[in-house]
Amino acid sequence: MTIIKNIIRSTLIATTFFWLIIYKYVGDGAILVYIFLSLLPIFLSCLVTILITIYPFYWIISNDTRTNSYIFKTYFPYYAIVSFCGSMLAIIASNFELFVIGFFASAFITTSHSWMWFSKE
């Protein structure tokens, strides 16, 4: 999967998870407008996150002897631990605010899926 397809899929998944978490706290009449308006910031968040934190592993480390599967099995567990701890610290620091929970939960799930998609290339 190319990086553009990965970012687009990540944006759609992040948008879905974010709005599934917070949909009942937004007025029913304007939810579609909010979802549409949130696509750009979520896309930019996915773009920056994937380009800075995931893609360098596959771009710098990969060679003939290190396959994408090898990179995934070697580095993903550490990435998952660090990103989970960072997400939990941010959620706790926000005093469990719903929008922060929605953001970091969708970011964690999305980045985990991005790792899997890159490993299957």
Domain extent listing, the chain: 3-119
What confidence score (pLDDT) does residue 15 get?
A: 92
- Write b or e for each residue in 13-47: b if 16 or more Cβ atoms lie within 10 A of its Cβ, otherwise e: bbbebbbebbeeeeeeeeeeeebeeeeeebbebbb
What confidence score (pLDDT) does residue 31 get?
A: 81
Say what the pTM is: 0.83
Tens-of-pLDDT digits for all 121 residues of the chain? 588 999 999 999 999 999 888 887 776 777 888 889 999 999 999 999 999 988 888 888 877 778 888 889 999 999 999 999 999 999 999 999 988 998 999 999 999 999 998 888 7
Specify the DSSP element, H or E, that contains 43. Answer: helix 31-49
